[in-house]
Structure 1
Amino acid sequence: MIDFDAHERSRWAGRAAAYRRSFGRLCAYPAEALLDAAAVTAGRRLLDAGTGTGTVAAAALARGARVVAVDADAGMLAEARRTAPGARVQQAALPRLPHPAGVFDAVVANFVLNHVADPAAALAELRRVIRPGGRVAVTVWPSPHPPLQRLWGEAVAAAGVPVPTDLPRLAPERDFPRTEAGLAGLLAAAGLTDVRAATPTWTHHTDPEDWWAGPAAGISTVGLLWERAPAAARQRLRQEYDRLSAAYRQADGSLALPTAALLGSGRVG
C-alpha cells in the first residue's frame, strides 16, 4: 500500500517554481481572509503551516506579525525565504511540528489539510501549538468542485486518459465532507470553539500557459496522468484542455476561471 503522506511529499519535490507559476497564484487569493479569520495583527506570533512559496507568510509580515513558516519540501522553503525574508523558515511536516505547546497566538494552514493522510490529527497538532484564546484558520477545496477544478477532470475524461488505480486515498474514517458543515465539524471535533465556516468565491485570472504549467510539471492528479501517459494521450489531453478552456478565454487571451474555497476557523479554549 502506498503511504499517503509520502506520496504527497514526493509529488511536490522539485516543483516549487512550477507551483509558484500556476497553482501558487490561485492559492494566494484567500490569504488576507485567512489571516483575518485567525485574527492576525501587528505583534502576533503566527505559525504558517505548509507555507509553500511563502505567500501567506509575506502577507502576515506586512501586517506586522512575527512569523514562523514551515513546509515539508526544501524547494518550497527556498522560495518562501525569498518571498517572506522576515519570517523564520523551518522544514517540518504535519502532524508533527517542532514547537512547544501554546507558543503561537495564531496558526494558519492554506490548502494544507487537502494533502495530509489524517486531517483530524493535523488539526490537533495545529491546535496544540496555539495559546489559549488564540485562533486557527484553514482553507480546503470544496466538493462538489467549482468550474476551475472541474476543468481538469473534464479534460481527462474527454481525452480518454485512464485514471491510475494505484493512487493513495484517504481512509474513509479519516475523511470529512468538503462542505462548510463538514469543515466546521472537523474544527469542532478538534475541541475548538467559536467555529466559523464560509465559502469565498472568486474568478482566477491566468495565462493559459501558466495554468497548464502546473500539470505539465507533474503537479496534481492530472500532472501525474501527464507524466505516465504515452505521447498520443498527452497530445489528446492538451487538445482537450485547449478546447475546454476556450469557454473561459477573455479578449486579451487570458482565462477567467470561476472557483471557490472553504475557509474555516476556531478558537482554542
Structure 2
Amino acid sequence: MTDPQAYARGFAHLTARTVDPLLNLVRKSRAPRLLDLGCGTGVVTAAALALGADVTAVDSDLDMLEHTARAHPHATVRLAALPELPFPDESFDAVAGNFVIDHAPDTPACLAELHRILRPGGTLALSWWKRDEMTATGVLAEAVQLAGLPHDPLPPRDLDPHATPAAFTALLRQAGFSGAGVDTMRWRHRVGLAAWWDCLTAAAGPRFAFILDLDQETTERIREAYFTLAAPYAEEGFPVCAHLAHATR
C-alpha cells in the first residue's frame, strides 16, 4: 500500500505532466465512457471529468481508491487490475492508463484485454517511464550505493521487451489496434530537494521504503549522499523521460 497523501504531494505532480497529451484522443469524443486504468490519486480522473467524460476509475490499491472516491464523487470507482478487468466486451469509448502498464504482468495479455473492453473505434492511451532517463528516482538509488549499502537494480518488468516505441507499436498492432504510435516526452521535474527526499522515502513503494526502517545514522548517511547527488538538479530540475502510446480499436 502507498500513502495517498504522500503520493499526491509528490509523485502525482510528476505524473501529471503527461495527462494532457494522454487525453488528447479523448478530447475528440463527446462525453465518452472513459476508463482511468490504475487511477492512483485520481489525476487523470479529474482531468477527464473536466472534459465531460463518464469516468470509471480502477486501481489495485484500496487506499488509492478511497482517496479517489472521496476526491471525485462523480466517478465510478472499482477495485481492479490488469490483465483481467471486470467489464463486459466493448464497455468503454476510451481507456487512459498513466504509468500503469509499467507494473502490469504479461503486456501482450494486457493489450488484448484492453482491446476487448473498448468499443470499435474506441481509443487507447498509455504512458510508461523510460527507465534509463529517470533521474528523479535514480538519484536516490545511487545515493544508497554511495552510502555503502547494497541496492538491487530495478526488477525486470514484463514490459521491458516491448518498452521501445517500435516494439510497443508492433505489439499494439498484433493486439488488433490500428493507428498505433508512440511519442516520447522529456522534461525537467522541478521540486525542492528536501520535499523530493520525503516523497521518495514515503511514497515510492518498496524500492525505497526500507530507508526509513534503518538506524538513524545509516538513514542520515543515505540522505547526505542524496543531497550531494541531487544538488546539480536543484535549479533546473531532474531530467525525466516518458513514452506515450496511442491507438484505436
Q: TM-score, normalised by structure 1?
A: 0.84
- How far the C-alpha of 1:196 sits from its partner, in A, is 1.0
Query: Match for 1:129 among 111, 117, 142?
Result: 117
Asked if structure 1 preserves the Cα contact closer than 8 Å seen for 2:162 and 2:171, the reply is: no
| 1:110 lines up with 2:98 in the alignment | yes
Q: In the alignment, which residue of structure 2 is the partner of 1:262?
A: 243
State which of 171, 178, 182 in structure 2 corresponds to 1:186.
Answer: 171
1:204 aligns with 2:185: no
Runs of 4+ off more than 4 Å: 227-230
Amino acid at match of 1:193: S
Aligned residue pairs total 249
Q: What residue in structure 2 maps to residue 240 of structure 1?
A: 225
- Calculate percent identity across the aligned residue pairs: 37
* Distance apart, 1:40 and its partner CA: 5.6
Q: Which residue in the other structure is 1:120 paired with? A: 108
Q: Secondary structure at the match of 1:132?
A: strand
One-letter amino acid of the structure 2 residue matched with residue 144 of structure 1: D
Judged with a 3 Å threshold, the aligned counterparts in structure 2 of structure 1 residues 261 and 169 are, in CA distance, closer, same or farther, namely closer
**Corresponding residue of 1:9:** none
Query: Could you tell me which amino acid in structure 2 is paired with residue 89 of structure 1?
Result: V
Q: Gaps (5+ residues) in structure 1?
A: 1-12
Q: Which amino acid aligns with 1:74?
A: L
Deviation at 1:203, TM superposition (A): 1.8
Select between 198-207 and 221-230 the one with higher mean Cα deviation: 221-230
Offset at residue 257 of structure 1 (A): 1.7
Inter-partner Cα distance in structure 2 for 1:83 and 1:209? 27
The residue type paired with residue 262 of structure 1 is: H
Deviates more, 1:99-108 or 1:140-149: 140-149
Could you list the per-position Cα deviations for residues 62-94 of structure 1 after superposition, in whole angstroms to 9, with x for gaps in the alignment?
111111111111110122123323211111111
Aligned partner (choices 136, 147, 160) of residue 135 of structure 2: 147
Using a 3 Å threshold, how does the CA distance of structure 1 residues 106 and 22 change in structure 2: closer, same or farther? Answer: same
Contact 2:181 2:247 in 1 (8 A): yes
Q: For residues 203 and 175 of structure 1, do their structure 2 counterparts lie closer, same or farther at Cα, with a shift above 3 Å needed? A: closer
Local SS of the residue matching 1:176: helix
CA–CA distance in 1 between the matches of 2:170 and 2:148? 37
**How far 1:29 sits from its partner (Å)?**
1.0
Residues 1:94 and 2:82 are matched in the alignment: yes
Matched residue SS, 2:109: helix
1:199, distance to aligned residue in structure 2 (A): 0.6
Q: How big is the shift at 1:36?
A: 0.7
